Amino acid sequence: MPLSAIDLVFLEDVLVGLLNTPSPTGYAQRAIEYTGNILAQFPALSLSHTRKGALVANWPGRASDAPRALTAHADTLGAMVKEIKSNGRLKLTKIGGFAWNTIEGEGCTVFTHQGGTVRGSLLLSKASSHVHGSQVNDLKREDDNMEVRLDARVNSADQTRALGIEIGDFVVFDPRVELTNGFVRSRHLDDKACVACMLAAVKALHEAGLQPAQTTTLHISNYEEVGHGAASGFPPDLAELVTVDMAAVGEGQASDEFHASICVKDSGGPYHYELSQRLRSLAEAHNIPYKVDIYPYYGSDGEALWRAGGDVAVALIGPGVDASHNYERTHMDALVATTNWIVAYLVS
Ligand SMILES: [Zn+2]
């Protein structure tokens, strides 16, 4: 059976909208709401939220003897104000796993607990070459040596507090989204690219008048980057979970920006063999360009469910993303392949 046509304009629009919606882990509600508003357009889905804040959509299938779920995460890397320095600048604590040098010089927004925003940038505390010479090169990029310079006239902690900034306020780094020649370059393609693919798959099935083969839960996670996103939020009779998350591209990796990948093993060990085999067969049957890969420093939301005691088959697929947890990039080819794979799974 040929796959349903994918609306590429929709896929791209949803992705760009999501990328430009700030959603660090712990403060991902805007991206959850954005996703919910789009899913609300599809009448077959019934939407709800978990108490933890994840978005869950129930989609009745032709059968319901082996219910399925797909998960992708809307939360991203980010930071929180750890300390207000005596010079009025901010010391941060990271949210999620990344290196400071990947965001050095990036613009950022502080979301104050009072509901305001303050712009600034993330810099080395000894940033000027004309003042600090070789230290700009030599200084280790660690928490104590990085600071936010606010775009406001402040030079004391009290002046910064007067802007409404306090310890615990969330800090969001500019995604810098750019589309060129089919490439999508942005921060946080992990995992907004996969949320967009999931939505495009839902649209394709709806427009074709198709129902999933099994009753399916679409789970948009909001705590993945800290390791426990999809630990909850599924029906008790769930039989299998396909995690949709980025594939790790780089030296020694099979994945690339033009294919979807299936991960057969990552830091959490092997995924479910039979479910992975079925997904590979589906990719073969539908001519979906895919790679089989192993991710050396990686954990997924599917494993979060396993670690929480979930007795379900779990597999992991997703588009190749270059320079992950850095200034990332993928290509529409990988997004289309991932979307087609989701469609093939849903109707199989
Ligand atoms: Zn991810």
Q: Quickly list DSSP for 82-119.
A: EEE-TTS-EEEEEESS--GGGTTT-EEEEE-TTS-EEE
The residue count for the chain: 348
pLDDT-flagged residues of the chain (< 50): none
- 190 CA to middle of ligand 1, Å? 5
What is the predicted pLDDT for the residue at 4?
76
Residue whose structure tokens are 């925003």: 117
- Ligand 1: distance of its center to the CA of 8 in Å? 22
> If we measure between CA atoms, which residue out of 277, 271, 289, 272 comes closest to residue 340?
289
Cβ atoms within 10 Å, residue 318:
32
Could you tell me which of 46, 68, 54, 62 has the C-alpha nearest to residue 235? 68
Which string of DSSP letters, residue by residue, matches 18-67?
A: HHTS--BTT--HHHHHHHHHHHTT-TT-EEEE-TTS-EEEEE--SEEEEE
SS3 142: coil
- How far, CA to CA in Å, does 139 sit from each of 106, 123, 127, 130, 145? 18, 12, 10, 15, 8
Q: Token match 């994840």: residue?
A: 54
Q: If you measure from the C-alpha of residue 17 to the centroid of ligand 1, how many angstroms do you get, rounded to a whole number? A: 18
Q: Which residue has the tokens 């959850």?
A: 32
Active-site entry in 224, 240, 257, 303: 224
Is omega for the bond preceding 75 within 30 degrees of 0, making it cis? Answer: no
Distance of CA 95 from the midpoint of ligand 1 (Å): 13
Rounded Cα distance between 52 and 56, Å, is 11
- The pLDDT score that the predictor gives to residue 1 is 52
Q: Contact, 256 vs 249, CB < 8 A?
A: yes
User: For residue 279, how far is its CA from the centre of ligand 1 (angstroms)?
Assistant: 20
Helix/strand/coil for 129: helix
Spacing, Cα 77 to ligand 1 middle (Å): 9
Quick one: how far is CA 3 from the chain centroid? 25
Q: For residue 45, with 0-12 CB atoms within 10 Å meaning exposed, 13-18 middle and 19 or more buried, which class applies? A: middle
- Catalytic (active site) residue 224: yes
Q: Which residues, at least 6 apart from 87, have a Cβ–Cβ distance to it below 8 Å?
A: 155, 156
Q: Which two tokens stand for residue 216?
A: 């399916």
Measure CA 79 to chain center.
Answer: 15
3-state class of 179 per DSSP? strand
Question: Within 10 A of 65 (CB to CB), how many other CB atoms are there?
Answer: 9
